[in-house]
Amino acid sequence: MKKLTLLLAALMVVSTLFAQTCVDDAWQCLRQNQAPKAKKFIESCMESYPDNAQVWLMKANVYINLYNSDQKKLKADPNYVPRYPEALTVANEAFVKALQLDPKVQPKTGMLGAIEGQKLCAQPFYDLGVQALEKKDYQKALDNFLLAAKNYELAKSNNAALAYFQAAVIYKDQLKDNDNATKMFAKSVHSNPNFVLGIIELYYMYADANDTVNCKKTITKLLAVESAPANMQSAIYETQMHYYSMINDEANLLAVCDTALAHDSSEEMVARCANYLSNYKAFAKAEEIITKALAAKPNSFKLNEQMGYLFYERMHAIEDQVAELQKEKKWNEAIALKGSPELKELTEKAHEWSQKAYDIESNHLDNNKRLRELKLKLQIPVPQELNDMINSHMH
């Protein structure tokens, strides 16, 4: 039995030595910039030593060199067709396999270690994802972004957040897979808790799913962001307004509107604030901020459109009261309210402002549909041009 054990040990030593010899052959080729020749040696090694970590690690280095060679030629000649299109994927898989076989595997002099190699694969995978995205090859783009994300995580790089974000957008917009989109947005935020865009997108995924518990958690993450980018501040305020409007928190909604306008008094922000306020039926505050903004920019489509929307919502608030009275069979009160001067005045004002907005910009579907509805209510002839504009959008 002892002799058999010694024989097996001897065979293992001989096998390792032979494996080391063929690894050395590939290594010498790489040192002489002969990656294709190194590929032949290492593939021969793989047939004889499929479970040797050193062989896998050298294979990874060979394929990284093949990938870099193709990229160099492609940069010099955009029409060059890569000889080894899968080289990066093969290299990455080989780095992973080497680590699985021996977590302490060490590279030959001048070669990449397994972990270092995986880290270096991250950016090329991300770039391949972008290229595939530009060609509308969404599955290939997704695969590359996910590989990039995993490799960035290994490198403990915040870039993992962006790679997961790109994957999430593909799931959401192209594959219509909201479950996986939500998971990827969550991974994006986990990779970088200060990634504002990822947090905002994650919030809206939860909001669309009516998941108020996770909406609250995500808003908390958003408010905890350190040094948010200046160009994202307005989006942060808008997300807060959406949340406070959704949970019927009037005090915080009004407070955020004031803070947002103090930070950004542009017509865009005024219009956004007014829209949330109108939806919440905070009509007086909405009218106040629109009127103030209109004094400076009377010909702004956004502001005129929002004023029309404000009166439109006020009109509908009274119509809702009429419907409620009818439901309670309070017929006389319902008839009186339906024919009231207040309802007529609100309808006329909604029409007036919507018409002003239409005269400024006639190619806005929501305003056009609203204007046609108001004309019909007021028994005003609907111009064929307005119908044509609406129909062109619908088709």
What pLDDT does 18 receive?
45
pLDDT in tens, 137-191: 999 999 999 999 999 988 788 899 999 999 999 999 999 999 999 999 999 999 9
pLDDT of 310 reads 97
Q: Spell out the residues 6+ positions from residue 112 whose beta carbon is closer than 8 angstroms to its own.
A: 60, 61, 64, 95, 120
CB 63 within 8 Å of CB 98: no
Which of 29, 26, 18 has its CA nearest to residue 52?
18
- Region 337-352: what's the mean pLDDT? 97
pLDDT tens across 11-43, in order?
343 344 445 678 899 899 999 999 999 999 899
- Kindly state the average pLDDT of the residues 88-114: 90
| Exposed e or buried b per residue across 280-303, where buried means at least 16 C-beta atoms within 10 angstroms of its C-beta | bebbebbbebbeebbeeeeebbbb
Q: Mean pLDDT score of the chain, rounded to an integer?
A: 91
Q: What is the pLDDT of residue 84?
A: 93
- Rounded to two decimals, the pTM is 0.79
337 within domain boundaries: no
Q: What percent of the chain has pLDDT over 70?
A: 94
CATH of the domain at 75: 1.25.40
As a whole number, mean pLDDT of residues 343-356 equals 98
Give domain status of residue 76, yes or no. yes
Quote the pLDDT of residue 298: 96
CA separation for the pair 192, 176 (Å, rounded) = 25
pLDDT of residue 395: 60
Task: Please report whether residue 168 resides in a domain.
Answer: no
pLDDT digits (tens, 9 = 90+) for 300-335: 999 999 999 999 999 999 999 999 999 999 999 999
**pLDDT value of residue 96:** 86
C-alpha to C-alpha distance for 21 and 28, rounded to whole angstroms: 11
Residue 268 within any structural domain of the chain:
no
Residue 47 in domain = yes
139 by Cβ neighbours in 10 Å (0-12 / 13-18 / 19+) ranks as exposed
The pLDDT tens digits of the residues spanning 199-221 come to 999 999 999 999 999 999 999 99
In a domain, 320, yes or no: no
The CA distance from 272 to 292, in Å, is 15
Counting the structural domains of the chain, the total is: 1
pLDDT of residue 11: 34
In this predicted structure, the answer to whether residue 103 has a pLDDT above a threshold of 80 is yes
> Residue with structure tokens 């018409």?
355
What would the DSSP string read from start to end of 139-199?
A: HHHHHHHHHHHHHHHHTT-THHHHHHHHHHHIIIIIS--HHHHHHHHHHHHHH-TT-HHHH
Residue 159 belongs to some domain of the structure: no
- On whether residue 91 sits in a domain, the answer given is yes
Whether the per-residue pLDDT at 375 is higher than 90: the answer is: yes
Question: Which pLDDT band holds residue 252 (cuts at 50, 70, 90)?
Answer: very high
Position 19 scores a pLDDT of 56
Domain of 61 in residue numbering reads as: 25-102
**pLDDT surpassing 50 at residue 292:** yes
